[in-house]
Amino acid sequence: MNKKAPVRALMANSQSSGALSAAEHARLRMSAAPKRGPGEPVGTTLAAIDVGSNAIRLEIATVRRTGDLVERESIREPVRLGHRVFLTGILEEKEMEKAVAALAAFRAVMDRHGVNIYRAVATSAVREAQNRDLFLERVSNAAGVDLEAISGAEESRLLALGVQRRADVSKRRALFVDIGGGSVEFAVAHQGKMLFSQSQRLGAVRLSELFLEGKRAADEKRALLEEYLERMLQDTVRELRKLRPEVLMAVGGNAETIARIVNAEADARTPLSVPARDLAQLTDKLCEMEPEERARKFDLRPDRVDTIVPASVLLAFVVRRLEFPRLEAPMAGIRDGMLAELADRVVGRYDPQAAARGVLEEAERLGEHYHYDAKHAAQVRELALTLFDALRGEHRLSDRDRMLLGVAATLHDIGEFVGYAHHHKHSHYLILNSELGGLTSEELRLVAVATRYHRRAHPSDRHEEYAGLSRDERRRVSRISAILRVADSLDREHRQKVRRVRLSARRGVVEIRPEAAGDLALERWALPAKASLFREVFGLEVKLLEEGTTKASPAAACADRGRRTR
């Protein structure tokens, strides 16, 4: 978040309670606390399920009152949900049956351990599938597991959190590369702060099916794969070079297998290092071998025999292009991130305000990508949040909605990157097709629709994007948009003239008293039209009272309302 934002509210911001939102409740499922046997560690039992493109994994741990985690059980089932889905867009029936059976078995294991809280996420294969919703519903009904398809940005966030809890990278600027079956996540973090995150559709299963199947010679297949990586990652490499990461942390089953092959005598759970030269030599060997030879020589599981090749080529590409002397394999992943976050919630260490700041920082990075007016966005955000806090008794929205308002205010104008005339619609499209770690896909959709209504038409059932929302979602969007429109009008000139504001609501009128540097003629002109949605939603008039302005009487407010609605 921009710490130099010019607006300072004179009203005290309410502190976030840390209560879970409806969306968070939907993904963090609880069951009754179990009876514990003698000698069993006292604490809450947590579980994390990762439904990947190449395998499904469960990890169960007990969190002590100190926040430390004690691993109870870890299971991996080799279900390739990503088989052909990246070519056809459809999850295959056979693989779905295997996945549901595996998750039902996981549910039984969780019950046996007395799991209190769990989070279950699905990554690229499920989120890209056209029959995703049917699969998620099937998993819920048949396996008793509430599964959430998360974005690549959320994968990156959980990955960085998990690795930072397992390996000390606080003093180094770290690049995290998580190679899944369908996508690869890149994230750069330093001192606990995310500096960059990006998801690319370059997972090991996807690349294997695209380039390594068929009758081409091995060297031709590798050449095609490397040329494709060069083209797809040239912008990513350029951005990463600017950030100058000091260490490469490679994550995922294939990265861990590569690290174990190079470090054959090391402990299975110990973080490992792979020198660049050893990685290059191993990549050459893997590419030259036939699948049966790879399996025999390196004792590879059947589902690893093909995917380890593109994973190795991709890691060697990143190491070479960014000139890393080695890669580190921390033996951690998104399950560690999920468990760490759940543990923080249990022991009261989770900071919802810090989490909200992280989401807003991601929104700012997205805005920078589209060359947004950062000062205007920060001004509108601060004004919008000031209005939100002052009107809690009127809007009855949650702290989670406050964060969504902040994100919408940050991104409301990014559509100008496409064109000014319909930039509210362009903003809606760009946000809807982007990713922000820390937000669910449903929350991102609410942000997109709210920005679509920051100008011009009011929310209407005639608009597909609004009509497709639930009744509660429409209520939230209308209220967020109404507040956003008023805040936007107070910086109509994009010159941040309003330094701070005082707000009061009485007798059906919200009075805004700004302390301004310069004339607010454009703001006075813009406010009446912008505040019309606010009147419709809250039944309140909005008045801008500058120094020397006479306070509007209720009668004048009613007369003015009549003139403006005609």
CB-CB neighbours of 548 under 10 Å: 5
Contact 383, 501 (CB under 8 A): yes
The tens digit of pLDDT for each residue in 201-232 reads 999 999 999 999 888 899 999 999 999 999 99
Helix 308-321, helix 218-243: angle, nearest 10:
40
H or E element that contains 199: strand 193-200
Q: Return the amino acid letter for 312.
A: S
pLDDT band at 144 (very low <50, low <70, confident <90, very high): very high
pLDDT for residue 151 is more than 90: yes
Q: Which of 121-135, 264-278, 430-444 shows the lowest per-residue confidence on average (mean pLDDT)?
A: 264-278
**Residues forming beta bridges with residue 74, ordered by sequence position:** 59
pLDDT for residue 30 is more than 80: no
559 half-sphere exposure, CB direction, 13 A CA radius: 5
Q: What number is the average pLDDT over the span 171-200? A: 92
Query: What are the distances in angstroms from CA 94 to CA 99, 131, 143, 529?
Result: 9, 14, 16, 56
Please state, in angstroms and rounded to a whole number, the distance separating the CA atoms of residues 58 and 68. 19
Predicted confidence at residue 6, as pLDDT, reads 33
Quick one: which of 55, 53, 48, 333 has its CA closest to 183?
53
Predicted confidence at residue 8, as pLDDT, reads 32
Please state, in angstroms and rounded to a whole number, the distance separating the CA atoms of residues 150 and 255. 22
Q: Please give the residue that has the higher pLDDT: either 164 or 50.
A: 50
Contact 347, 356 (CB under 8 A): no
Q: Supply 130's token pair.
A: 């056209």
Please state, in angstroms and rounded to a whole number, the distance separating the CA atoms of residues 271 and 266. 9
Q: What number is the average pLDDT over the span 62-71? A: 92
Q: What share of the chain is helix, strand, coil (3-state, %, to 5)?
A: 50, 15, 35
Q: Supply 333's token pair.
A: 């992943």
Predicted confidence at residue 13, as pLDDT, reads 31
In the chain the first and final C-alpha atoms are separated, in Å, by 41
Query: What are the distances in angstroms from CA 414 to CA 368, 422, 562?
Result: 9, 11, 34
Contact 138, 96 (CB under 8 A): yes
pLDDT for residue 564 is more than 80: no
550 half-sphere exposure, CB direction, 13 A CA radius: 5
Q: Supply 477's token pair.
A: 């969007």
The tens digit of pLDDT for each residue in 482-503 reads 999 999 999 999 999 999 999 9
Interacting residues of 325 by C-beta distance below 8 A, sequence separation 6+? 275, 276
Contact 197, 175 (CB under 8 A): no
Query: What are the distances in angstroms from CA 317 to CA 172, 225, 369?
Result: 22, 10, 25
**Residues forming beta bridges with residue 254, ordered by sequence position:** none
pLDDT for residue 38 is more than 80: no
Q: Give the CA diameter of the chain.
A: 88
Q: What number is the average pLDDT over the span 347-372? A: 94
Q: What number is the average pLDDT over the span 423-436? A: 97
Site of tokens 């005609």:
566
Please state, in angstroms and rounded to a whole number, the distance separating the CA atoms of residues 554 and 38. 70
Please state, in angstroms and rounded to a whole number, the distance separating the CA atoms of residues 288 and 154. 36
∠ CA 185-76-279 to the nearest 5 degrees?
50
Three-state DSSP state, 487: helix
CB-CB neighbours of 218 under 10 Å: 14
SS (H, E, C) 2-23: CCCCCCCCCCCCCCCCCCCCHH
Mean pLDDT of the chain: 89
Predicted confidence at residue 265, as pLDDT, reads 78
Burial class (CB in 10 A: 0-12, 13-18, 19+), 526: buried
- Structural domains in the chain, CATH included, are 22-152+337-347 (3.30.420.40), 168-331 (3.30.420.150), 352-565 (1.10.3210.10)
pLDDT for residue 345 is more than 60: yes
Please state, in angstroms and rounded to a whole number, the distance separating the CA atoms of residues 458 and 268. 58
Predicted confidence at residue 269, as pLDDT, reads 66
Please state, in angstroms and rounded to a whole number, the distance separating the CA atoms of residues 21 and 28. 10
Predicted confidence at residue 216, as pLDDT, reads 87
H or E element that contains 516: strand 509-516
pLDDT band at 264 (very low <50, low <70, confident <90, very high): confident
